[in-house]
A and B are shown apart, each in its own frame.
Chain A
Amino acid sequence: MSELTVEIDILRYRPELDSEPFTQTFEVPYTPELSVLEALQYIKDHLDSSISFRWSCRMAICGSCGMMVNGVPKLGCKVFLRDYYPKKVSLEPLANFPIERDLVVVMDDFIQKLESVKPYIIPGENKCLSEGPYQQTPEQMAKYKQYSMCINCGLCYAACPQYALDKKFTGPAALALLARYNRDSRDNGEAQRMKIVNQEEGVWGCTFVGYCSVVCPKDVDPAAAIQLLKVESSKDYLIGMFKPD
């Protein structure tokens, strides 16, 4: 019996050799349980060792293997060849990011944006260690838990046309992270973060396309985080009109 195979197109770019990316096709033995990431590992081990891609955990936790699979941002480890077989699978580096090499993208801008939203708890008053931890009820935790599930894979940025059009836009994951801290009962840094939220590059750069929430592998729903921040930003503006500080 002949072995079943599947064709995989990979957009390749080798900065020391190529002036622009090109597509290379590989033929990989097909099994229904093979993930796209495992197919890439097969290619690297058996067909072309020069191919570059990021990966680590193989179970949708590390957020390293984000890539465009047939034009849709996905985690390579969470998408399977059986979802496309017998059709061809096309792999490209995450959209809206510069290509470093093959499927590896430059994520510096994304990381810088995550850092820019003050993603840490800013306590109102510093408690002494002897006073014990900052406590929280399950209900208070439920208010932000969903937004804390982000694995920084960058799929939402690859899905966001607003980020594609204007790289100044803070973007879905960073704003969801901001919401995560603003909604935390132990945090008191809302006033500082609202300055970031209220900007044109903040929540108002979002036109509610909503695709970020569709592609999110962790159901973080950044689109919801941003719309709720728009409500907060509007309230902030109205209050500021009567009570400027």
Chain B
Amino acid sequence: MSKRNPYIRKLPMDWWMKQLFYTKYMIREGSSVFVTLYSLILAWGVFRLSQGEVAFNGWLDALQSPFAILLHIIMLILALYHTITWFSLAPKAADLWVKGKKLDEKVIIAAHYCTFVVVTVFCLLIITL
């Protein structure tokens, strides 16, 4: 008679805390919650703008509170973290071949950073001019 009795281990709830790689992955995924939050705040601002100057200024004032500033700092850090980790993964989703050779990962990552800088400068020019 077979004495087989395969043992199935349970996945602990804190599996993502036990390996730094998983923790970083969870922060990357979790950062999207804060990115969404920021887009909602921004969308709310556009909505208040449509209601007139007083409403929009009220929204601007609300953003001056220490809580709002702290929240924005956290959102900025997480958005940057998301961007950096995403850029470093980008070559995996790109299958670009030039003259029979696969394009170097560094070129793809560098192209992402260049586009990021160009778009940021463009946006800053629109806002400040």
> A interface vs B, CB < 8 Å?
13, 15-16, 20-21, 71-72, 95, 98-100, 106, 138-139, 142-143, 161, 164-165, 207-211, 213-214, 221, 223-224, 227-228, 230-231
Contacts and interface: CB of A to CB of B under 8 A. Distances in A.
Which residue, A21, A72, A95, A209, has most C-beta atoms of chain B within 10 A?
Answer: A209
A223 B16 CA distance: 18
Given A209-B22, A211-B21, A21 B7 contact: yes
B18 interface: yes
Task: State the main secondary structure of chain A at its contact with B.
Answer: mixed
Contacts of A213: 92
A142 B102 contact: yes
Interface of B: 3-9, 11, 15-16, 18-19, 21-22, 25, 29, 89, 91-93, 95, 97, 100-102
Contact of B92 (A15, A71, A143, A223): A223
Contact of B93 (A165, A211, A231): A231
B6 A100 contact: yes
Contact of B7 (A13, A143, A165, A228): A13
Contact of A15 (B6, B19, B21, B29): B6
B93 A142 contact: no
Nearest to B19: A71
